[in-house]
Amino acid sequence: EPEVTQTPSHQVTQMGQEVILRCVPISNHLYFYWYRQILGQKVEFLVSFYNNEISEKSEIFDDQFSVERPDGSNFTLKIRSTKLEDSAMYFCASSPTSGRTRTPFGPGTRLTVL
Amino acid sequence: GQQVMQIPQYQHVQEGEDFTTYCNSSTTLSNIQWYKQRPGGHPVFLIQLVKSGEVKKQKRLTFQFGEAKKNSSLHITATQTTDVGTYFCGRSSNTGKLIFGQGTTLQVKP
For chain B, give every domain's residue range. Answer: 5-60+77-109
Q: Is it the case that residue A99 has pLDDT exceeding 80?
A: no
Min Cα–Cα distance to chain A from B87, Å: 10
Amino acid occupying residue B102: Q
pLDDT one-digit tens code per residue, B19-50: 999 999 999 999 999 999 999 999 999 999 99
CB-nearest partner of A107 from B30, B42, B96: B42
pLDDT one-digit tens code per residue, A13-63: 999 999 999 999 999 899 999 999 999 899 999 999 999 999 999 999 999
pLDDT value, residue B2: 66
Q: Which residues of A touch B100 (CB under 8 A)?
A: 42-44
β-strand partners of B66: none
Q: Which of residues 42-71 of B touch A (CB under 8 A)?
A: 42-45, 48, 50
DSSP label of B83: G
Domain total in chain A? 1
Q: What is the dihedral of CA B53, B96, B43, B60, to 10 degrees?
A: 20
Q: Is it the case that residue B1 has pLDDT exceeding 60?
A: no
A107 at B interface, C-beta within 8 A: yes
CATH number at residue A38: 2.60.40.10
C-alpha dihedral sign at B13, B16, B20, B21 = positive
Least confident of A49-53, A97-101, B98-102: A97-101
Q: Could you tell me the residue range of the domain that residue A61 belongs to?
A: 5-113
Mean pLDDT, residues B83-94 taken together:
93
Output the CA angle A71-A23-A16, nearest 5 degrees.
100
Backbone angles phi, psi at B86, to 5 degrees: -110, 130
Q: Which residues of A touch B90 (CB under 8 A)?
A: 43
pLDDT value, residue B70: 95
**Beta carbons of A107 and B43 less than 8 Å apart:** no
Contact between B92 and B98 (Cβ < 8 Å): yes
Largest CA distance in chain B: 42
Min Cα–Cα distance to chain B from A45, Å: 7
How deeply is B24 buried, as exposed, middle or buried, from its count of CB atoms within 10 A (0-12, 13-18, 19+)? middle
Q: Is the CATH number 3.30.1370.60 carried by domain B5-60+77-109?
A: no
C-alpha dihedral sign at B49, B3, B30, A46 = negative
pLDDT value, residue A39: 93
Rounded to the nearest angstrom, the gap between the alpha carbon of residue A14 and the centroid of all alpha carbons in its chain is 19
